[in-house]
Structure 1
C-alpha cells in the first residue's frame, strides 16, 4: 500500500455561529461552502433558518423563512438562493423548497423518496441520487439518478443502456461543471453522464466506495466497507473500464485517522466533513 495522503484544510464555519445547530452543509459547484443552521425550532410547523456561506476569507449569511423540511439537505443556486429537500417523502408531499436570494420561499415540488445525494450544478439544476428504499418503493425515485430543474421540471432520467443494469442504490455521485459521474450498487460500474451523449459505462473492480473523483483520464475512489472506510484507490480510465493503480489511505491534515464523516465530490475534488460538521477538508486529485 502506498503512503498515506493527507487532506488539506479548506473551509470553517466562523466561531460566531457555532452556538447554532448544524442541520446540513455542502460545497457548491463553484467551491463555496454553505452551512444550514438553526436555533430552537418548532416540532410541528415551519421555522426560520440561517445559511452561512464561506468563500476564502469571506463569510456571508442568508436568512430563510418558513422552512418546512424536518431533516433538510441543502443545495446552492448560482445566482443566489438555495434549495432544501427532505430525504424522505410520501406521495403528495412538496419535499423540495426553493428560496430566492433574499431567503424567501419561491416554489415547492416533489422529486421522490429516498434522496441519498443532492448536488446542484453550475446552471442551478438539481442532480439527485436515491438509495434503495426510494428506488424500490417510489416511481419518481425508481431510475436511481435524476436531474431536475430548480422549478421541478424533470430534465434527465437514468435508463440502463448496453452493458449497464438498473440502479438499486446510488453509492456515490460527482457533479462537475461539465459532467456527472455515478457509482451505483450492485455491480459498482462508473457511469459518465454528459449532455447530448449516451451514458458511458465503465466496469470497475472497486467495491462500496462513497466518493469518486475524476481528472482527465485519472480517477480515484474513496471509502469502503468496514476497515476500508478511509481507503483511497487511484486508477486510470480506459474506454470501457477502470484500471486501478494504487491503494492508500486518506487522513486528517495532522495525519490522524478520519472519524465518522460525509463527503461531497466535485470533479477532481473530494470535500470531507467530520462531526460536528463545522469544517470542510479537501483532497484534490489534480494536485497529486
Structure 2
C-alpha cells in the first residue's frame, strides 16, 4: 500500500511549551492558533493567551474572562476570536447547571484586543467548530447533542453568524434522514461539507443552492480534503487510523480511485491526533499538540 507523508506546517514557539494547551486549530486563512491558559480569576473565569503562528512568525492575543471549560477556538477575519464551550451549561438541574446568563455565553466573541464582546448559545456536544472567511461559525455535533434534549444541537450541523444569528441548519434530506454524529466537517471559502455517522454520506452546502448529498463507500474517516472533483478521506477505525482513500466525485456518489496511508513527516504511524479539514488541506496535530503538519491535494 502506497504511503504519503505529511509536511511540517507550524510549531508552537518553545517559550510557550510549559503551558497547558487548551485547544489548537488552523483557521480559514491558514494561520495556526494555540489557546493557552495564563491565570484563573473568580467564578471559574480565567485569562488565556492565543499564540498565532503564520509563516514562521508568532504573535500573542490575550483573552480576558474566558468561560469555556472544554474550549473550542477559531479566528475571525477582523482579528478577533471565538471560544466555545463544547458542553452547554443549562439551568435545568442537570450536569453542572448554569448561573444566570452563563448559558448565553457558551460561545464568547473576543475582539482583536482580547476583550469579550458578546456571547450566544449554539447547543451541547460540539465536535467541530470552524469559522469561514466571512466570520460565520460552523458547528458539527456528536451524538450526545443530536440524541440529547438540546434543540440547538439536535440537527447535527448548523451555521451561525458571529453575532449568534442562525444562518443554516441541517434538515433531513432524501436518503439521509437525521444525523447521529458529525464525524468530520470541512469548511472552505465558498462551501462546507459534512460527513456524518451512520451511513457516512458527504453533504455539500453552498450558499443559494440546496444541499447536495453523495453516498460514499468510506466509513469512519476523521477528516477529508476536497479539490475540484477529488476528495481524499483520512483515518478510520482500529488499524485504519492512517488510511488515505483517494476518490472521485460524481453528481451523486463518490468512487474510490486508490487507497494508501498518510504518515508523519518522519515516516512513522500517526498516533492520537486532531484533524482540521480546510478545503484541499488536511491539518494533523499529534500529542502533545505543539506541532501541525499538512497534507495538501490542491
**Structure 1 unmatched runs, 5+:** none
User: Please, which of 266, 282, 292 is the counterpart of residue 270 of structure 1?
Assistant: 282
User: Please, which of 98, 111, 115 is the counterpart of residue 122 of structure 2?
Assistant: 111
Note the 1:247-258 alignment, pairs <5 A: 247-258=259-270
Distance 2:45 2:153 in 1: 26
- Equivalent residues of 2:38, 2:49 under 8 A apart: no
User: Which residue number in structure 2 is paired with residue 224 of structure 1?
Assistant: 236
1:208 corresponds to 2:220: yes
Number of positions where the alignment pairs a residue of Structure 1 with one of Structure 2: 285
Note the 1:24-173 alignment, pairs <5 A: 24-41=23-40, 44-91=43-90, 93=103, 94-137=105-148, 138-173=150-185
Shift of 1:164: 2.4
- Equivalent residues of 2:84, 2:106 under 8 A apart: yes
User: Please, which of 247, 252, 256 is the counterpart of residue 235 of structure 1?
Assistant: 247
Distance 1:213 1:195 in 2: 20
Distance 1:43 1:190 in 2: 44
Q: Which runs of 4+ in 1 moved over 4 A?
A: none
What TM-score comes out, normalization by structure 2 length?
0.93
SS for the counterpart of 2:15 is helix
Shift of 1:160: 1.9
- Once the two structures are superposed, residues 146-197 of structure 1 have per-residue CA deviations (whole angstroms, 9 ceiling, x without a partner) of 0001111111001122232211100000000010011001110011100010
Note the 1:1-40 alignment, pairs <5 A: 1=1, 3-40=2-39
- Equivalent residues of 2:41, 2:47 under 8 A apart: no
1:246 corresponds to 2:258: yes
Distance 2:225 2:74 in 1: 20
Distance 1:44 1:221 in 2: 42
What TM-score comes out, normalization by structure 1 length?
0.97
Shift of 1:42: 5.5
Distance 2:235 2:208 in 1: 31
Distance 1:164 1:69 in 2: 33
Shift of 1:57: 1.9
Distance 1:280 1:50 in 2: 18
SS for the counterpart of 2:167 is strand
What value does the CA root-mean-square deviation take over the aligned residues?
Answer: 1.1
- Once the two structures are superposed, residues 7-48 of structure 1 have per-residue CA deviations (whole angstroms, 9 ceiling, x without a partner) of 000000111111111100000000000000114536852111
SS for the counterpart of 2:239 is helix
